[in-house]
């Protein structure tokens, strides 16, 4: 375990065999000045202004992430917050410009956060953000040498994703399909105009939610990709959907017949009840007519799974895990699943083979008398 003491000797473990030293004293109980440290115990102090050269470098880095790397707004915010924290720390050590940033500042910054209780995954992300920034600064000519590789890489323990069983998904989608069919209202509902409007809204939401769950499970797409879809991205004849994924990379993903049927029902009978002048071409809409946002989509998945009596809770990413696992269990090859999911490396997809093996072993232990 690392031990930060008041005399300035400390150890921060980056990997199992790579240790670095924090060169300045850190008092126990003192508040750590970092931004976006929700998992680090005490709240961070308000960020101070960066030196002008540091502020310019941070702005240029964020533009690079958005424009050249085409990273998601969430990733840009996370990396930007990490690098702001790093630059604030460096400026407190007397570094006024990115040219003065070295491995000492990088290690001491990570060391303070480690001592403050940041999770391993958080430290791994912040180390990755620091290496990305120093590589960017080196290419820009701000750094004569890139100190980032000297940080090493923190090894995180990757947990196997939770997936729903086939019968769970079958039951959930059957409940949603029934609810969607029952939600199709006659042209002139009974009751007052207010009641009729409420019924139309409820029916539209039911049709939308059924289409969302069906499409997520049929395609395994990310929630951000789902919310970015437009009606024209669906090819009804070929039964495919055009998805824009990470790095603005497009891919064509097959869509099953039940999912296509649910989306068509939403387009024909549900979307017109929610559409407004601000809806644009968005495929899925919120109740106010705007494009469905990822937070609402996550809530939809959690609520609908719970209402359908699923044995395990899952969000959109859990449905993505489930779709990938069921594809592999059904005989799909790893390369095909990689292309469907939009993974840049097959190593990312291989985790689903471990999930399938673990499920197979669990079934074996339960069923075989001498397991």
**Mind listing the pLDDT tens digit for each residue in 19-71?**
333 333 333 333 333 333 333 333 344 456 899 999 999 999 999 999 988 88
Identify the helix (H) or strand (E) that includes residue 234.
strand 234-235
The pLDDT, as a whole number, for residue 297 is 96
| Sign of the dihedral defined by the CA atoms of residues 341, 345, 348, 352, in that order | positive
**Structural domain tally of the chain?**
2
- Judgement on whether residues 333 and 195 belong to the same structural domain of the protein: yes
Q: Which residue has the tokens 């959907």?
A: 241
Residue 2 belongs to some domain of the structure:
no
Q: Which residues of the chain have pLDDT under 50?
A: 1-46
Tell me the CA distances in angstroms from 281 to 214, 231, 271, 292, one per residue in order.
Answer: 20, 6, 11, 12
Tell me the CA distances in angstroms from 197 to 55, 162, 207, 275, 287, one per residue in order.
Answer: 51, 39, 15, 14, 12
Q: How many Cα neighbours within 13 Å face the side chain of 131? A: 13
Contact 50, 58 (CB under 8 A): yes
Residue 6 belongs to some domain of the structure:
no
- Judgement on whether residues 243 and 360 belong to the same structural domain of the protein: yes
Q: How far apart are CA 357 and CA 143, in angstroms?
A: 47
Q: What is the pLDDT of residues 319-367, one digit of tens each?
A: 999 999 898 888 888 888 898 999 887 877 877 776 666 665 666 677 6
Domain boundary among 122, 151, 180: 151
| CATH code of the domain covering residue 358 | 1.10.443.10
pTM reported for the whole predicted model: 0.65
- Judgement on whether residues 132 and 224 belong to the same structural domain of the protein: no
Domain boundary among 87, 117, 151: 151
- Judgement on whether residues 239 and 360 belong to the same structural domain of the protein: yes
Instruction: Provide the token pair at 221.
Output: 């797409």
Identify the helix (H) or strand (E) that includes residue 133.
helix 120-139
Which positions are annotated as active-site residues?
222, 246, 317, 320, 343, 352
- Judgement on whether residues 125 and 177 belong to the same structural domain of the protein: no
Residue 158 belongs to some domain of the structure:
no
The pLDDT, as a whole number, for residue 47 is 55
Domain span including residue 41 = 12-151
The pLDDT, as a whole number, for residue 155 is 64
Residue 344 belongs to some domain of the structure:
yes
Residue 1 belongs to some domain of the structure:
no
Q: How many Cα neighbours within 13 Å face the side chain of 57? A: 29
Contact 142, 54 (CB under 8 A): no
Contact 179, 262 (CB under 8 A): no
């Amino acid at each position: 375990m690392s031990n930060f003491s008041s005399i300035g000797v400390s150890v921060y473990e980056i990997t199992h065999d790579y240790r670095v030293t924090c060169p300045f004293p850190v008092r126990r109980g003192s508040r750590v000045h970092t931004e976006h440290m929700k998992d680090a115990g005490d709240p961070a102090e308000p960020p101070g202004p960066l030196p002008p050269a540091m502020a310019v470098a941070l702005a240029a880095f964020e533009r690079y992430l958005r424009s050249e790397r085409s990273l998601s707004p969430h990733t840009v915010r996370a990396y930007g917050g990490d690098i702001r924290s790093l630059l604030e720390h460096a400026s407190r050590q007397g570094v006024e410009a990115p040219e003065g940033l070295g491995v000492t500042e990088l290690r001491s910054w990570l060391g303070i956060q480690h001592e403050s209780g940041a999770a391993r995954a958080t430290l791994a992300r912040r180390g990755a953000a620091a290496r990305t920034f120093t590589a960017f600064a080196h290419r820009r000519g701000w750094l004569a040498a890139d100190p980032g590789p000297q940080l090493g890489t923190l090894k995180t323990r990757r947990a196997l994703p939770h997936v729903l069983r086939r019968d769970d998904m079958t039951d959930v989608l059957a409940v949603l399909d029934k609810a969607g069919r029952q939600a199709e209202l006659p042209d002139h509902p009974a009751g007052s105009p207010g009641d009729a409007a409420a019924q139309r809204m409820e029916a539209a939401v039911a049709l939308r939610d059924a289409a969302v769950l069906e499409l997520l499970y049929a395609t395994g797409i990310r929630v951000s990709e789902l919310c970015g879809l437009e009606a024209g991205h669906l090819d009804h004849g070929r039964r495919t959907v055009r998805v824009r994924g990470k790095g603005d990379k497009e891919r064509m993903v097959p869509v099953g017949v039940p999912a296509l049927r649910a989306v068509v029902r939403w387009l024909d009978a549900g979307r017109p009840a929610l559409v407004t002048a601000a809806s644009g071409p968005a495929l899925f809409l919120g109740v106010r007519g705007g494009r469905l946002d990822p937070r609402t989509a996550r809530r939809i998945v959690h609520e609908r799974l719970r209402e359908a009596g699923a044995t395990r809770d899952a969000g959109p990413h859990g449905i993505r895990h489930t779709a990938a696992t069921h594809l592999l269990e059904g005989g799909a090859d790893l390369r095909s699943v990689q292309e469907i999911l939009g993974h840049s490396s097959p190593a990312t997809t291989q985790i689903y083979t471990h999930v399938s093996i673990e499920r197979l072993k669990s079934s074996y232990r339960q069923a075989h008398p001498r397991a």
